[in-house]
């Protein structure tokens, strides 16, 4: 016996304009960074940290440590 299900895949850019939806769990780290009065500063600092770490990993062709930037998307799936 099988039951049919439906699903929807959604994506949203994780950038300094990201705002978590009201039904995002409070324990989600990305959502916690994007809440409160310092949300944009928190997000900018996070992106700077990610970029710095990525550039440090690619040091062999990146002498100034500023060649690369990481872009992130949050992917979610809703199933019924």
Residue 73, domain member (yes or no) = yes
Binned at pLDDT 50, 70 and 90, residue 1 comes out as low
**pTM of the predicted model as reported, rounded to 2 decimal places:** 0.72
Q: Could you give the CA distance from residue 70 to residue 54 in angstroms, rounded to a whole number?
A: 8
Residue 16 included in any domain: yes
pLDDT at site 55 = 94
The torsion defined by the Cα of 71, 46, 12 and 9, in degrees rounded to 10, comes to 90
The domain total for the chain is 1
| Domain region containing 19 | 7-79
Report the SS3 class of residue 21: coil
On whether residue 1 sits in a domain, the answer given is no
* Per-residue model confidence (pLDDT) at position 67: 92
Q: Tell me the C-alpha distance between 65 and 59, whole Å.
A: 7
pLDDT tens digits along 21-58? 777 776 677 778 888 888 899 899 999 999 999 999 98
Structural domain contains residue 2 = no
Which stretches of the chain are DSSP H helices? Answer: 29-33, 39-57
Determine the pLDDT at residue 60.
85
């Amino acid at each position: 016996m099988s039951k049919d299900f439906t699903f929807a895949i959604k994506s949203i850019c994780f950038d300094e304009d990201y705002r978590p939806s009201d039904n995002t769990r409070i324990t989600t780290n990305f959502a916690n960074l994007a809440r409160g009065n310092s949300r944009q500063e928190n997000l900018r600092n996070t992106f700077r940290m990610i970029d710095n770490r990525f550039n440090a990993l690619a040091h062999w062709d990146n002498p100034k440590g500023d060649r690369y930037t990481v872009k992130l998307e949050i992917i979610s799936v809703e199933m019924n």
